[in-house]
Amino acid sequence: MNIRVIRQLSGIICFGAGLLASPAFAQEQRPAQDKATAHYLRLEYSKAAVYFEEAAKRKYFKTAHLRMLADCYRQLNQYQKAVDSYRKITESQDAVPADFLHYGDAVKSTGDYIAAKAIYVQYQEKGGAEAASRMAGCDSALVWMAAVPPPVNNLRELNTPASDWGATWDREGRFVFVSDSLRATMLDPRQKASLKEYRRTGNAFQKIYFVDTVHCAPDATVIRGFDNILNDFRYHVGPVAFAPGGDTAYITVTSPGKPAVQRDGPDAGYRTRRLDLFVSVRGQAGWQAPVPFAYNNPQYSIGHAAVAADGQTLYFTGDLPGGQGKTDIWYCERQPDGSWSAPKNCGAAVNTPDEEAFPTINEAGKLCFSSKGHPGMGGFDLFVVSGGKDGWGTPVNLKNGYNSPGDDFYLRNNGAGSEVFASNRAGGAGSDDLYGISAAPRITQLMEPGKKIVILETTVLQQGSTTPATGATVLLSDENRQEYWTLLTTDDGKAYMVIMDGHRYAVSASGSGNGWSAPQQFTAAGEDTVKISLQLTMAVPRPGSVHELPDILYDRDDFRLRPESLPVLDSLAALMESFPGLVVELGAHTDSRHTDDYNIVLSERRAASAAEYLVQQGIDRARIRTVGYGESRLVNKCSDGVECTEAEHQKNRRTELRVLQR
């Protein structure tokens, strides 16, 4: 599943040549379209889009580059941007038939079925074979949209601005899911947290989590890393499927470092993301180290496993040779010796020349899967079909509610009335969100014997009132471990997180249109539940006042914004939208390491990256001044030659806001 980027910013503003001698800064002087193309050919769509957007502001932006930009938007599921780009392409003399197909798909994903069908007609006139199925989907969608959909609930207590999907239940009934949000640092203390960036999207790598409601805070919804053994992979982990009985787990793992495969098109010869299955068995001592599935192969993908109720058939997604289309549903059969047979294709009743993926088995033994090839409402649509192995009936589209103009996938149920699926439909908390139908996910209470669990209950209030701030972003930082967590507040303005006894933390909040709160520091010392109340503020500072922007921090020798910086900048953008006369200066600082000249330029780039993010949020560039102070205004003792911890140096890598005019 291509995961849509929420926000990505890296390497945006180029300064004069010769300011820095390092290769990283020298590379910034290259033309934007050259850098964009280089990222695009490496399938780094989020970074490529930033540079293509910069290049598009200049003259002589070629259709070939616009097509690459449109493809970036398509791969990242940024539908409206893709629509705008493909419209320009199809109006040019350089348009090819595939442009009309992608244009129609993008328009369809915005829910404009009438316009999409008209574009598919143009594609069909140019010989497009896929047009008939897509036009049928547009016709069906218009009918299905007129019917009353089943009640669908966004599981807002679990969703983040990033991607949350892949829901299932383990044998204890715990709700298990996958996320690539900043929860990647929220694993058990024994696990290795990773903030490495997945270059395709700019997000963290996804891991497996479970919902844990503990006795000391019965109303809390807290998220914890599922298991160290299963999450201990360098790149994406998940989803996970449990065999009947729950003692065997089939984990999908992604490795961008797989050997290159021969491909057609501009990315030929570059390494691509591949899926592998790993299998882990749980013994008395817990989950054992996962071992590769017998049919993993560096030349193709195998992932998204589902196990039949009798445990004798394993279904999965793959692009193995001999399939029906781009990706198909395949199966293996259990042999008398416990091994699995060679993969077999589920056949043309299920699979099409396009993409089928995300198989699951429901309580009735039917196969649920997602398809782009069968007539549907959007990108991936959810289908259900009766049968087994290579003998299936006709797949049934689950229609409006389950499906939408976006991508809808990975439908699961627990046999007790709870159904959960994922979707990137409009109106969600972020990229892919978890949705429930009929009943909420069953969440069990869990308390590990002999281990003290402390819950942080954060309540966020709107500016100047006692009204709960729904959907505010709570940011928690652990000063002991130098790590960050984010979570959105629910309708009551609350967010719950697991914290460690004896650790020192700082917690703050931000909300779209509601400013931010000042960070509040505390130490968890002996309590079962720590309760913190934060008040959002939108007060306009007076001209000349200087305010440190909380959590606008940078890695050493880097000017790129870290993910935890974005909520604060979003709040600043909202503040500036509310007060159109506000003109500000963003002043960035460095630590004392490196030369003065180096640090001046580095700080200028840091200020420019924050400013460019605000511009991307719609703020007029003329309202933002930037200045780099280098190491000239340190806030602690850490000057040249003084030994300091990394945490002390980090305090100097900050950004300040100065109000120039309001």
Q: What is the DSSP string of 623-662?
A: GEEEEE-TTTT-SSS--TT----HHHHHHHS-EEEEEEE-
Q: How far is CA 197 from CA 8, 226, 564, in A?
A: 11, 21, 13
Tell whether 343 and 405 lie within a shared domain. Answer: yes
The Cα 469–Cα 466 span in angstroms is: 9
| Confidence at residue 123, expressed as pLDDT on a 0 to 100 scale | 93
Q: Which of 411, 438, 465 is the endpoint of a domain? A: 438
Domain range for 277 is 152-438
Is residue 175 pLDDT above 60, yes or no?
yes
Q: In this predicted model, which residue has the larger pLDDT, 465 or 135?
A: 135
Residues 172 and 281 in one domain: yes
The whole-angstrom separation of Cα 257 and Cα 235 is 9
Identify whether residues 179 and 263 lie together within a single domain. Answer: yes
Phi, psi of 572, deg, nearest 5: -65, -40
- CATH code at position 636: 3.30.1330.60
Q: Are 491 and 460 in contact (CB under 8 A)?
A: no
CA-based nearest residue to 561, from 143, 259, 570: 570
Residues 192 and 207 in one domain: yes
Mean pLDDT (whole number) for 54-82: 88
Q: State whether 581 and 474 are in the same domain.
A: no
Tell me: pLDDT of 555 over 60.
yes
Residues 342 and 285 both lie in one domain = yes
Residue 68 placed within a domain: no
pLDDT of residue 77: 84
What is the average pLDDT value for the chain, to the nearest integer? 79
- The 8-class DSSP code of residue 379 comes to S
HSE, side-chain direction, 13 A CA sphere, residue 564: 27
297 lies in some domain: yes
Omega cis (within 30) before 256: no
The answer to the question of residue 421 being in a domain is yes
**Whether 234 and 333 share a structural domain:** yes
Task: Considering only residues 519 and 214, tell me which one the structure prediction assigns the higher pLDDT.
Answer: 519
What's the whole-number mean pLDDT along residues 457-478?
A: 81
pLDDT digits (tens, 9 = 90+) for 400-423: 999 999 999 999 987 666 789 999
Please indicate, yes or no, whether residues 393 and 508 belong to a single structural domain of this protein: no
- The yes-or-no verdict on residue 540 having pLDDT over 60 is no
pLDDT, tens digit (0-9, with 9 covering 90-100), for 261-306: 433 433 333 334 589 999 999 988 889 999 999 999 988 899 999 9
Q: Residue 477: give its domain's CATH number.
A: 2.60.40.1120
Look at residue 124 and tell me if it is in a domain. no
567 confidence band (pLDDT: 50, 70, 90): low
Tell me the residue type at 469: A
Whole-number pLDDT of residue 563? 67
Instruction: Indicate whether 546 and 517 sit together in one domain.
Output: no
Give the model's pLDDT for residue 322.
92
CA 35 to chain centre: 24
C-alpha–C-alpha distance, residues 288 and 281, integer Å = 6
Higher pLDDT among residues 599 and 135, named by residue: 135
Confidence (pLDDT) at 213: 55
For residue 592, tell me if it sits in a domain. Answer: yes
**Domain's final residue, options 404, 438, 472:** 438
Examine the domain organization and report whether 169 and 246 are in the same domain.
yes
The answer to whether residue 33 sits within a structural domain is no
Last residue of a domain, one of 378, 406, 438: 438
Residue 197 domain flag: yes
Taking the C-alpha atoms of residue 372 and residue 406, their distance in angstroms, rounded to an integer, is 11
Alpha-carbon gap, residue 374 to 364, rounded angstroms = 22
C-beta of residue 164 within 8 angstroms of C-beta of residue 177 = yes
101, two tokens: 């197909």
Same domain, 551 and 522: no
Here the CATH number for the domain that contains residue 385 is 2.115.10.20
On whether residue 217 sits in a domain, the answer given is yes
In this predicted structure, the answer to whether residue 427 has a pLDDT above a threshold of 90 is no
What is the per-residue pLDDT across 6-60, written as a single tens digit (0 to 9) for each?
222 222 222 222 223 333 333 333 467 788 888 888 788 888 888 888 888 877 7
pLDDT tens-digit profile of 603-637? Answer: 888 888 888 888 887 888 889 988 888 888 888 88
Q: Is the pLDDT of residue 481 over 70?
A: no
* Same domain for 510 and 387: no
Question: 501 near 525, Cβ under 8 Å?
Answer: yes
Q: Please state the domain count of the chain.
A: 3
What is the model's pTM? 0.64
